[in-house]
Amino acid sequence: MTEFSRRNVLKGALAAAGAAAVVPGTATAASASGVALVRNRLTLPSGISTGDVTTGSGVLWSRSSGSGTLVAELLAVDDGGSLLRGGRAFRRVLRGSAATEATDFTARIDASHLPAGTRFAVSMHFEDADGLAGETAQGSFSTAADTGLLASGREARGQSFVWTGDTAGQGWGINEEIGGMRGYAAMHATRPDFFIHSGDTIYADGPISAQVTEPDGQIWRNLVTEEVSKVAETLNDFRGRHRYNLMDKNIRALYAEVPVIAQWDDHETHNNWYPGQILTDTRYTERRVDVLAARGRQAWQEYQPIAGVSAGGTGFEPERIYRKISRGPQLDIFCLDMRSFKDPNTDGKETHLTHILGQEQTDWLIREVSRSKATWKVIANDLPLGLVVPDGPVNEESLSNHDDGAPLGKELELAAVLSAFKRNRVKNVVFLTADVHYCAAHHYSPDRAAFTDFDPFWEFVAGPINAGSFGPNALDGTFGPKVEFFKAGAYANESPRSGTSQFFGHVDLGADDVFTVSLRDANGTVVWSKSLPPQR
């Protein structure tokens, strides 16, 4: 079904259920004196999105043009957009949190107790203090099946998803002359069931200028706002970065129809940061990274459709970054946070254990992956495992230390995780990541490794989706990685113009549980693929 017809049938389902579409504009009401008053209806300047959708729950998100309450209507529909009838019918109206200045007018709804294996047409709007409904937007999402059948009665035939990272980096922002962030349109065209954004959802430390001259003389022209024209320091600066990305039509279209599983990495705050760091970056007046990270975290949580966010937007629950998303008997997603608990960047050759996950998260990962009954366990790691990512001439940003010998420093934490998986006989683990601005497929095996107490596994790398291209990076041999494939840009910091140096990954998980990975460029071209049969 084309994008045009798909959206129209969803709108038709909503209209058939009596949900009138409210367009932006004004409303007239009578005052106490009888004089007509004109009020502006609330609008949706950043569109709508859904996130963390499981077999029975999901998060609905939007941002209002002013103070109001988020209202959503969910209707169960078939693949053609027609309402499900009889015992399969489902309609629910939900009211969410208040959008106020304290939350930058963002709001969300934690939708629970949803039927599994069901496609929903969703309508969202805000109501003002007088109950006046504002602009309405339509979207859709699907809960994962928990049996072999969908709610429509059809046989469940698996699921698919995409992943990537690195949005609006190195000064490459929204270029409307080339259609905006087209990589998002290419992901959308695959009709995935969900999207993992593997971090660097914004580049708070990368100013965006009105134009950039590329090496061949072409002029890249960016849409620019005040907040993205400088490094982010204030809370409003960080919020403005998220607002900027949602100005892109391709992102808004994808987010309206494809649930997001969001991670964060370094550029939501500052390049290669770690807790306790004092910046030497002369562009900043506030150089305490903990202060900047707190503001960056608040803005990130306000703008990402993640579950369990504290009311008012001022709190932060770090366990909500590292979390499990259950997609039924086929698939569990384990979404990591490799930033909040990270020890300082050093050369990585400490003989004692240092942290990139922290003890609590490490224990959680071992416990939850070992308990998982899903066929496939996907670990979304926002930093790659075996790639060397320098932070200056000596220090390392990643957990790899550029030493092929026995695990040291942060490598000891990964060694403990991999050993526990082997000890607990965990099968079908795949790591998915971004961060390094090129795509690759790495196979890890104890046969090639200095550390051998683990079972072989794959790690797939994708990105950037709209940032400068780089790579390839060197591999650290401690865990025996082998490059099965890579593709990078033609030169360092190549722009996203051609689409051939921008990458995302696609996973098709069929009814037979075969895990087929393809790496694709921002034009949708498949550059490499691999099918992994499940181990039983």
Q: What total of structural domains would you count in the chain?
A: 2
Is residue 491 included in any domain, yes or no?
yes
| 401, 513, 518, 530 from 508: Cα distances, Å | 34, 9, 8, 11
Is residue 27 included in any domain, yes or no?
no
* 307 and 440 within one domain: yes
pLDDT tens digits, residue range 286-334?
A: 999 999 999 999 999 999 999 765 444 433 455 479 999 999 999 999 9
* 185 and 105 within one domain: no
Q: What is the distance between the alpha carbons of residues 265 and 269, in angstroms, rounded to a whole number?
A: 8
* 223 and 93 within one domain: no
Is residue 129 included in any domain, yes or no?
yes
* 118 and 173 within one domain: no
* 177 and 57 within one domain: no
* 163 and 138 within one domain: no
CB 43 within 8 A of CB 64: yes
Is residue 21 included in any domain, yes or no?
no
Range of the domain at 127: 3-16+40-142
Q: According to the model, what pLDDT value does residue 154 have?
A: 76
Is residue 30 included in any domain, yes or no?
no
* 282 and 174 within one domain: yes
- Nearest by Cα to 464 from 432, 488, 491, 490: 488
Q: What is the distance between the alpha carbons of residues 61 and 49, in angstroms, rounded to a whole number?
A: 5
Is residue 154 included in any domain, yes or no?
no
pLDDT tens digits, residue range 526-536?
A: 999 999 999 99
- What is the CATH classification number for the domain harbouring 132? 2.60.40.10
CB 135 within 8 A of CB 47: no
* 288 and 191 within one domain: yes
- Nearest by Cα to 54 from 332, 263, 271, 469: 332
- What is the CATH classification number for the domain harbouring 187? 3.60.21.70
Under-50 pLDDT residues of the chain: 1-6, 9, 16, 18-22, 30-31, 35-37, 310-316, 319
Cα dihedral value 93, 99, 104, 107, nearest 10: -30
* 470 and 381 within one domain: yes
Q: According to the model, what pLDDT value does residue 5 have?
A: 44
